[in-house]
């Protein structure tokens, strides 16, 4: 119960941000963006996701598991092919994961737009799986499909804030430019 008491205000802020009148104001507060980053300690990810699934009904929200899509991406190409491409693109992983006949970025964007088309708020979870892929939160937030969603994109983002800066997985500087951050 300590988790709920300690983080109630953060979830309350998220709920307020998702109210219709506040969604309309999101673009002006997020520099034209259409994304809410919900930052939390990576060590508490399981608790945050469990609580989110309890309070956000599946009839209004679509949880999109990035780690699961990562596995789907590897399965679609085959492990041997991914290993070969990873060796070729080790210095430029974004070329492996963001382009080609099948890309992880496109799989993510497809799931987001499908959720939005179905009238649901898309929620990216387990985004730590993007580390090392060259796909940054800004690549998603600034994509034209995300900017044109009817509903905002909600990203559950394992990060810390220190001295006003956001650090993905507690160490990698992250962009807050096209989004509203709830810390």
3-state secondary structure 21-81: HHHHHHHHHCCCCCEEEEEECHHHHHHHHHHHHHHCCCCCEEEEEHHHHHHHHHHHHCHHH
Cβ neighbours for 27, distance < 8 A, ≥ 6 positions apart: 33, 34
- 3-state SS of the chain: helix, strand, coil percent to 5? 50, 20, 30
Mean pLDDT of the chain: 92
Per-residue pLDDT at 1: 47
pLDDT digits over 17-37, tens only? 999 888 878 888 888 889 999
Radius of gyration of the chain (CA): 16
Distance CA 66, CA 140 (A): 12
pTM: 0.93
Strands 35-40 and 153-162: parallel
Per-residue pLDDT at 21: 84
| CB distance 62 to 118 below 8 Å | yes
Residue 154 pLDDT > 60: yes
CA angle 48, 126, 142 (to 5 degrees): 110
């Amino acid at each position: 119960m300590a988790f709920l008491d300690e983080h109630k205000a953060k979830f309350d802020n998220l709920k307020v941000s998702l109210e219709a009148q506040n969604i309309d104001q999101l673009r002006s507060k997020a520099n034209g963006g259409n994304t809410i980053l919900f930052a939390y300690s990576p060590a508490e990810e399981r608790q945050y996701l469990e609580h989110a699934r309890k309070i956000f009904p599946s009839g209004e929200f679509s949880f999109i598991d990035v780690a699961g899509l990562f596995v789907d991406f590897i399965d679609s190409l085959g492990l041997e092919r991914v290993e070969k491409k990873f060796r070729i693109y080790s210095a430029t992983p974004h070329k492996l994961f963001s382009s080609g006949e099948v890309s992880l970025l496109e799989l993510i964007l497809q799931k987001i737009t499908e959720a939005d088309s179905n009238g649901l708020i898309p929620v990216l979870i387990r985004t730590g799986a993007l580390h090392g892929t060259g796909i940054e939160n800004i690549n998603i937030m600034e994509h034209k499909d995300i900017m044109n969603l009817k509903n905002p994109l909600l990203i559950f983002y394992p990060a810390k804030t220190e001295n006003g800066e956001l650090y993905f997985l507690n160490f990698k500087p992250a962009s807050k430019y096209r989004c509203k951050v709830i810390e």
